[in-house]
Structure 1
Amino acid sequence: DDGGSVEVTGVVKNDREEVVDTLRTLHGGMGCLRFTAHTGERYYAECTMAGGKTERFDLPASRNTACVLKILQTEENFTVLPISGRPLPKGLKLLVHCRGNICYHKPWNYDYASLIFRRSDLPGGILQILLLDKAGNALSERLVFNRGEELATTDVQVRGSLKQRTKVTLAVTATDPDGRPAAGDFSIAVTDRAAVPSATSGSIYSTLLLTSELRGTIETPDWYFEGQDAARVAALDALLLTQGWRRYDVPELMKKEYVEPQYPLEVGQEITGRISKSGLWNRRKKLSRYEMRMIVPSLHYVTKCAVDDTGAFALNGFDFPDSTLYVLRPAAVRGSMPEATVKVARDSFPEVGTLPRVPAQEQKKPYIAQARYYIEQRGQTDMRNILIDTVYVTHHKRLESTRPEHRLAARTWTAEQIKESGAGTILDFIARMPGMSVVGRQVSYRGYRPGFMVDGRLEETVGEMNPVRAFRSTGMGRNHKTQTRLPPIPDPGGWIDFTGMNYSNTNSAQQSTGGNKRQIQYIDDFDNVPDILYYPLEIVSRIDLIEGGNMVLWGVSHWKQAGIISITTKKGKELDDATRTLPARDVEFVSPLGYQTPAEFYAPAYATEKARRSMVPDYRTTLYWNPTVKLDDTGQATVEFYTSDAPADYDITIEGITQTGKIVRTVKIITE
Structure 2
Amino acid sequence: MLKKQFSNLNLGILLFLSVIGINAQQNSKLLITSKEAYAEKIYLQLSKNVFTTEEIIWIKAVVTDAVNHAPTKLSEVLYVELIDFDERVIDNKVLKLDSGISSTFFQLDETIAPGRYLIRAYTEWNKNFGDTFISKQYVNIYKSDIPDKNESAIRNVILTETQDNQLKLSAQLFPKVINPKYRGKLKVLLDLGENTDSVELRKDKAGFYQLDYVLPQDIVKAKLELKLDSIKVKNFDFDFVNTYSKWIVVNKDYTDLQFFPEGGKLIDGLPTKLAFKALDYDGKGKFVQGTIIDQLGNEIKRFRSNKLGMGAILLLPNKNKTYFAQIMDNKGVTYKYPIPEIHEKGHVLSVRQLEAYVAIRILSNYKPSDSLILKTSSRGVVYHKETLILKNGKLDVALNKQALPEGIIKISLFNQLEEPILERLFFNVNDSKRLKLDVQTNLSTYSQRDKVNIEIAAVEKNSDTIAAANYSVLVLNKKVLGDTFNGRNNIYSYFLLDSELKGVIESPMRYFNKENTKRNRDLDVLMLTQGWRNYIFEPKDSDISFSYRPEKGIHVSGNVRSSLNPKKKPKKPLELTLMTFGKPEGNVFTQSIDSTGSFTFNVGEVYSDDLKILLQTRNHKGKNKDFVINLDKKALPEINFEEKEKVQLADSVNAFVEKSAERKQIEDAFNVSSNTIALDEVNITGYKMTPERERMMDLHGPPDVVIEDKELHKKVKNWSYGLFSVLLFNYPEDINVRRVGRNGGFLIAEVFGADFTCILIDGIPVRIRDYPLIGDLPTEEIKSVEIIESPKSPKKYAFDIFGRTEALDRALVVSFINIYTYSKKGLFGVSRTPGMTKATISGLSPKLEFYTPKHENLTAEDWRVPDLRSVIHWNPEVKANSKGKAEVEFFNSDDIGDMLVIVEGITKDGKIGYFETNYSVEEKLEK
1-structure distance, mates of 2:364, 2:602? 50
Q: 3-state SS of the aligned residue for 2:518?
A: helix
Counterpart in 2 of 1:615?
864
Q: Aligned pair in 2 of structure 1 residues 164, 376: CA closer, same or farther (>3 Å)? A: closer
Q: 3-state SS of the aligned residue for 1:233?
A: helix
1-structure distance, mates of 2:602, 2:509? 36
State the AA in 2 paired with 1:391: D
Q: CA deviation at 1:32?
A: 1.4
Partner deviation per Cα, 1:581-630 (whole Å, 9 max, x = no partner): xxxx9999864434311222122221122278421233334211111111
Of 462, 465, 470, the match for 1:185: 470
Q: CA deviation at 1:199?
A: 3.5
Q: Following superposition of structure 1 onto structure 2, how do residues 165-314 of structure 1 map, counting pairs within 5 Å?
A: 165-176=449-460, 178=462, 181-197=466-482, 198-227=485-514, 231-244=518-531, 245-250=534-539, 252-253=540-541, 257-258=542-543, 299-300=587-588
Counterpart in 2 of 1:359?
649
Q: 3-state SS of the aligned residue for 2:611?
A: coil
Q: 3-state SS of the aligned residue for 2:341?
A: coil
Partner deviation per Cα, 1:533-589 (whole Å, 9 max, x = no partner): xxx9754689xxxxxxxxxxxxxxxxxxxxxxxxxxxxxx989xxxxxxxxx99998
Q: CA deviation at 1:107?
A: 1.9
> Is 1:125 paired with 2:407?
yes
State the AA in 1 paired with 2:471: F
Q: Following superposition of structure 1 onto structure 2, how do residues 427-446 of structure 1 map, counting pairs within 5 Å?
A: none
Assess if the C-alpha contact under 8 Å between 2:554 and 2:602 holds in 1: yes
Counterpart in 1 of 2:425?
143
Q: Aligned pair in 2 of structure 1 residues 262, 44: CA closer, same or farther (>3 Å)? A: farther
Q: CA deviation at 1:183?
A: 2.0
> Is 1:34 paired with 2:314?
yes
Q: Aligned pair in 2 of structure 1 residues 275, 377: CA closer, same or farther (>3 Å)? A: closer
2-structure distance, mates of 1:88, 1:135? 18
Counterpart in 1 of 2:877?
628
Q: 3-state SS of the aligned residue for 1:324?
A: strand
More strand by share: 2
Of 276, 292, 299, the match for 1:19: 299
State the AA in 1 paired with 2:511: Y
Assess if the C-alpha contact under 8 Å between 2:413 and 2:421 holds in 1: yes
Q: CA deviation at 1:114?
A: 1.4
Assess if the C-alpha contact under 8 Å between 2:407 and 2:428 holds in 1: yes
State the AA in 2 paired with 1:223: R
Q: CA deviation at 1:385?
A: 9.8
Assess if the C-alpha contact under 8 Å between 1:156 and 1:173 holds in 2: yes
1-structure distance, mates of 2:458, 2:420? 42
Partner deviation per Cα, 1:382-413 (whole Å, 9 max, x = no partner): 449999854336984269xxxxxxxxxxxxxx
Counterpart in 1 of 2:691?
397
Q: 3-state SS of the aligned residue for 1:634?
A: coil
Of 101, 105, 113, the match for 2:385: 105
State the Cα RMSD in Å. Answer: 5.1
Q: Aligned pair in 2 of structure 1 residues 630, 398: CA closer, same or farther (>3 Å)? A: farther
2-structure distance, mates of 1:278, 1:617? 61
Assess if the C-alpha contact under 8 Å between 2:480 and 2:655 holds in 1: no
Q: 3-state SS of the aligned residue for 1:205?
A: helix
Assess if the C-alpha contact under 8 Å between 2:370 and 2:390 holds in 1: no
Q: Aligned pair in 2 of structure 1 residues 385, 236: CA closer, same or farther (>3 Å)? A: farther
2-structure distance, mates of 1:39, 1:627? 58
Counterpart in 1 of 2:892?
643
Q: CA deviation at 1:156?
A: 2.0
Q: CA deviation at 1:631?
A: 1.2
1-structure distance, mates of 2:560, 2:851? 48
Q: Aligned pair in 2 of structure 1 residues 209, 386: CA closer, same or farther (>3 Å)? A: farther
Q: CA deviation at 1:640?
A: 1.0
Assess if the C-alpha contact under 8 Å between 2:781 and 2:822 holds in 1: no
**Aligned residue pairs, count:** 473
Q: Aligned pair in 2 of structure 1 residues 633, 139: CA closer, same or farther (>3 Å)? A: same
Q: 3-state SS of the aligned residue for 2:846?
A: coil
> Is 1:347 paired with 2:651?
no
> Is 1:70 paired with 2:355?
no
> Is 1:116 paired with 2:398?
yes
**Structure 1 unmatched ranges of 5 or more:** 284-292, 306-311, 330-338, 364-369, 400-414, 416-535, 543-572, 576-584
Q: CA deviation at 1:265?
A: 7.1
State the AA in 2 paired with 1:151: R
Relative CO higher for 1 or 2, CA cutoff 8 Å, sep ≥ 6?
Answer: 1
1-structure distance, mates of 2:896, 2:486? 21
Assess if the C-alpha contact under 8 Å between 1:79 and 1:116 holds in 2: yes
State the AA in 2 paired with 1:157: Q
**Structure 2 unmatched ranges of 5 or more:** 1-280, 568-575, 581-585, 617-627, 673-677, 684-688, 694-708, 710-776, 784-820, 824-833, 922-927
2-structure distance, mates of 1:380, 1:278? 56
Q: CA deviation at 1:220?
A: 0.2
Partner deviation per Cα, 1:371-392 (whole Å, 9 max, x = no partner): 9994799699444999985433
State the AA in 1 paired with 2:420: A
Counterpart in 2 of 1:508?
none
2-structure distance, mates of 1:62, 1:380? 62
Report which stretch shifted further, 221-230 or 23-32. Answer: 221-230
Counterpart in 1 of 2:440?
157
Q: 3-state SS of the aligned residue for 2:342?
A: coil
1-structure distance, mates of 2:357, 2:504? 29
Assess if the C-alpha contact under 8 Å between 1:267 and 1:317 holds in 2: no
1-structure distance, mates of 2:671, 2:873? 24
Provide the TM-score with structure 1 as the length reference.
Answer: 0.59
Counterpart in 2 of 1:552?
none
Assess if the C-alpha contact under 8 Å between 1:167 and 1:643 holds in 2: yes
Assess if the C-alpha contact under 8 Å between 1:653 and 1:665 holds in 2: yes
Report which stretch shifted further, 39-48 or 609-618. Answer: 609-618
2-structure distance, mates of 1:304, 1:131? 58
State the AA in 2 paired with 1:350: I
State the AA in 2 paired with 1:397: P
Counterpart in 2 of 1:429?
none
Assess if the C-alpha contact under 8 Å between 1:151 and 1:662 holds in 2: yes
Counterpart in 1 of 2:910?
661
State the AA in 1 paired with 2:502: R
Matched-pair identity in %:
24
Assess if the C-alpha contact under 8 Å between 1:201 and 1:221 holds in 2: yes
Assess if the C-alpha contact under 8 Å between 1:189 and 1:652 holds in 2: yes
Q: CA deviation at 1:263?
A: 8.6
> Is 1:86 paired with 2:366?
yes
Partner deviation per Cα, 1:280-308 (whole Å, 9 max, x = no partner): 9xx9xxxxxxxxx9967554568999xxx
Assess if the C-alpha contact under 8 Å between 1:77 and 1:117 holds in 2: yes
Q: Aligned pair in 2 of structure 1 residues 268, 124: CA closer, same or farther (>3 Å)? A: farther
Q: CA deviation at 1:43?
A: 1.9
Assess if the C-alpha contact under 8 Å between 2:369 and 2:390 holds in 1: no
